[in-house]
Amino acid sequence: MLDFERARLHILDQIKPLPSELVPVAEADGRVLAEDLVSSLDLPAFDYSAMDGYAVQAADFSGEGPWRLAVTIEQRAGGVAQNLRAGSAARIFTGAPLPQGADSVIMQENAERDRSDVTFRAAPRHGSHVRRRGEDMARGALALARGTRLNPFRLGLAAALDRARVCVARRPRVAILCTGDELRDAGSPARLGSIPDSNGPSLAALARRAGADVRVLPRSSDDLEATRAAVRRALAESDLLLTVGGVSVGDHDVVKQALEAEGVILDFWKVKIKPGKPLAFGRHPGGFVLGLPGNPVSAQLTLCLFGLPLLRALQGDARALPSVVQVRLGAAIAQQPGRLGFYRARLENGVALAHDNQASGAATSMAQADVLLMVPADSAGLAAGAVADALRLDDL
């Protein structure tokens, strides 16, 4: 039984990023760059006005004001920069190229227009309200590094750099196989002893958030041969197979046998964490397998802690692991030493309050949580007011 960090690092050490592909910038949200994005132009590409107003030469404002200048040209956004003669002003609009000969812009609120002339009562500071070519990013500069996960703001930068397509890692293909004769689809007719399958929808949503293409397979029964057949088909069509349930030691827990019978090499199948101890990790020629526990909290938590970093690593994500934050406890937490404890908690005014029900089958505790509090394996608990390490669920 491995400790948490050793198990997680062992998984990540096995991962090589998937092949890359070119996709349109408009379709690249959430994808991970597979190459450095280097600027092929200056940003901005030319000097332009940051305000509606008047472009002038600061040298024309000598002596005592006010200063009255003739307005000789109008410079609009999208036009070619015109020539401004000394001693005159150009009417200019936000985003318009700065006229040749001008070096400053005076806001229209600080100007008094009178037909073909304009009067200024304060001299401009040289370069005021002008955005210079390349001041945001120079040609040849690194705009976004390989391994960056794209978001709407980074897509905006790529488009500003005139990129129509970007090179990103292929999405990992994930197959989810839930097992158990007791499971049925949520909303389907109930039968005695059955429960709705909450793991399929939840785990699929988590994997998609990490950038995966996900298929939830038809559920397998607790029959070994049927489970072997389902595993065989899934291994042929996925980069990561997530099995749910059946990895413990019960008489009807057949997933571990089915995986090994289909050639999966299991590196470990227990981790010293609570909840989520019965976690299996395996390899086969076409990809990887994570055998998750069947209890909903244990399945969700182990996918967050191990599966999502694996999926990010497959995409070459430079931030495969979530950041650990520190929070202050609003109440004490007690635990039996021996396993690293993850406790679901909500945040109220910056204080973490652990959920009353920490059972591995309590779906409410994850649904109402903001963070996972981490209590060290050798600890009997933490006192109220103590500072604890935590993982924000939004960051997982």
What residues does each domain of the chain span?
4-17+173-314, 20-43+135-169, 48-131, 324-395
The H or E element spanning position 48 is strand 48-49
CA 238 vs. chain centroid, Å, equals: 22
**DSSP 8-state symbol, 322:** P
Letter for the amino acid at 107?
M
CATH of domain 4-17+173-314: 3.40.980.10
Tokens 């956004």 label which residue?
A: 77
Q: Per residue in 383-393, is it b (16+ CB within 10 Å) or e — as a string?
A: eeeeebebbbb
**DSSP 8-state symbol, 148:** P
Classify domain 48-131 at the CATH topology level.
Answer: Molybdopterin biosynthesis moeA protein; domain 3 (2.170.190)
* Cis peptide bond prior to 196, omega within 30° of 0: no
Q: Return the SS3 of 10.
A: helix
Considering only CA atoms, which of 329, 323, 343, 338 is closest in space to residue 395? Answer: 323
284 strand-pairing partners: 287
Burial of 172 (0-12, 13-18, 19+ CB in 10 A): buried
Give me the sign of the Cα torsion angle 126, 130, 131, 132: negative
Q: What share of the chain is helix, strand, coil (3-state, %, to 5)?
A: 20, 35, 45
For the chain, the C-alpha Rg in angstroms (whole number) is 30
* Contacts for 21 with CB less than 8 Å, ≥ 6 apart: 167, 168, 169, 170
CA 305 vs. chain centroid, Å, equals: 15
Tell me if 259 sits within 8 A of 234, measured CB to CB: no
Which pLDDT belongs to residue 380?
Answer: 97
Walk along the chain (396 residues) and give the pLDDT tens digit of each residue: 899 999 999 999 999 999 999 999 999 999 999 999 999 999 999 999 999 999 999 999 999 999 999 999 999 999 999 999 999 999 999 999 999 999 999 999 999 999 999 999 999 999 999 999 999 999 999 999 999 999 999 999 999 999 999 999 999 999 999 988 788 989 999 999 899 999 999 999 999 999 999 999 998 877 889 889 999 999 999 999 999 987 655 545 788 889 999 999 999 999 999 999 999 999 999 999 999 999 999 999 999 999 999 999 999 999 999 999 999 999 999 999 999 999 999 999 989 999 999 999 898 999 999 999 999 999 999 999 999 999 999 988
Classify domain 324-395 at the CATH topology level.
Answer: Beta-clip (2.40.340)
In terms of CATH, what superfamily is 20-43+135-169? Molybdopterin biosynthesis moea protein, domain 2 (3.90.105.10)
pTM (two decimals): 0.90
Long-range contacts, 61-69 (Cβ 8 Å, 24+):
61/120, 61/123, 61/124, 65/120, 65/121, 65/122, 65/123, 66/119, 66/120, 66/121, 67/119, 67/120, 67/123, 68/117, 68/118, 68/119, 69/117, 69/118, 69/119, 69/120
Give me the sign of the Cα torsion angle 205, 210, 214, 220: negative
